[in-house]
Chain A
Amino acid sequence: EPEVTQTPSHQVTQMGQEVILRCVPISNHLYFYWYRQILGQKVEFLVSFYNNEISEKSEIFDDQFSVERPDGSNFTLKIRSTKLEDSAMYFCASSREQNSPLHFGNGTRLTVT
C-alpha cells in the first residue's frame, strides 16, 4: 500500500539554524499538509497546499515557515530560524480529495537545542 514518507526521522538543530523537513506524499494525491505535535499535546494544523500554492495556514505558520513542492514528488517544510519552542513532531500528510482521509507520514522529530 502506498504511503507518505518523511525524512529524516529525527533532526537535532541549534537555535537560530534553518531546517528543512522533507516529505514524499502518495503519488496520486493532490492535497498536502503539514501538522505538528508538541510532545504529549494535540496535533495542530500548520498549512495546506494545493495546486502549487498554500490554500490555508494557521497562526502558527508565521514568516519563519515556508513550504515548497520543488519537483513532482517532494513536499518540504522549511523553518528559517528555529526557536526552542519549534521542538515537536512534524507530520506530513496527503489526501486524494479535499475531504478524503489524510494519510500521515511517520513524522520527523525536531529537537531544537
Chain B
Amino acid sequence: AQKVTQAQTEISVVEKEDVTLDCVYETRDTTYYLFWYKQPPSGELVFLIRRNSFDEQNEISGRYSWNFQKSTSSFNFTITASQVVDSAVYFCALIWNSGNTPLVFGKGTRLSVIA
C-alpha cells in the first residue's frame, strides 16, 4: 500500500519553541518523492519542499529543516523558534514513480503557535 501517516493531529506550542512534525510513509517503489505543504488559515496550499528517494541529505531553509530517513520511512519537519505566523495545517505527501500516479496526502497536522 502507498500511504502517508501523520500521527499528530494537533500540536500546540508557545512562540519560540522548536516543534517537529512527524511523517511516516509507505511505498513499494524504490523511486518516489516526498513533499511538505503548508495550509495557513486563509486556506491555500503552499509548497514547502520536495525530496526524492535517492537524496537522504537533510535540508535546512531558514527556520525550517527536514530530516529524511529511509531506514525508518520517515520525513520529519522541524520548525525552529516557532512564530505565530507558522500556525497552519501542514501536510506531508508522497508520489511514487511507477506510472502516472497522483500525489497522496497525509491527514495533516494542525500547528498552533501561541504568543
Residues of A within 8 A of B (CB): 33, 41-45, 48, 50, 55-56, 58, 89, 91, 93, 98-107, 109
Contact = CB atoms under 8 A, between A and B. Distances in A.
Chief secondary structure at chain B's binding surface: loop
Contacts of A103: 47
A65 B76 CA distance: 36
Interface stretch (B56-64, B66-74, B79-87, B95-103): B95-103
B50 interface: yes
Nearest to B102: A45
Interface residues of B, number: 24
A106 B43 contact: yes
A33 B104 CA distance: 12
24 contacts: A33-B102, A43-B105, A44-B105, A45-B104, A48-B102, A50-B100, A55-B100, A56-B99, A56-B100, A58-B102, A89-B43, A91-B45, A98-B100, A100-B50, A101-B35, A101-B47, A101-B50, A102-B35, A102-B47, A102-B103, A103-B47, A104-B37, A105-B44, A106-B43
A18 B66 CA distance: 43
Interface of B: 33, 35, 37, 42-47, 50, 52, 91, 95, 97, 99-108
A96 B105 CA distance: 19
A48 B103 CA distance: 10
Given A45-B104, A101-B47, 9 more contacts: A45-B103, A101-B35, A101-B50, A102-B35, A102-B103, A104-B37, A105-B44, A107-B45, A109-B43
A59 to B, nearest CB: 12
A88 B35 CA distance: 23
A100 B50 CA distance: 8
Contacts of A101: 35, 47, 50
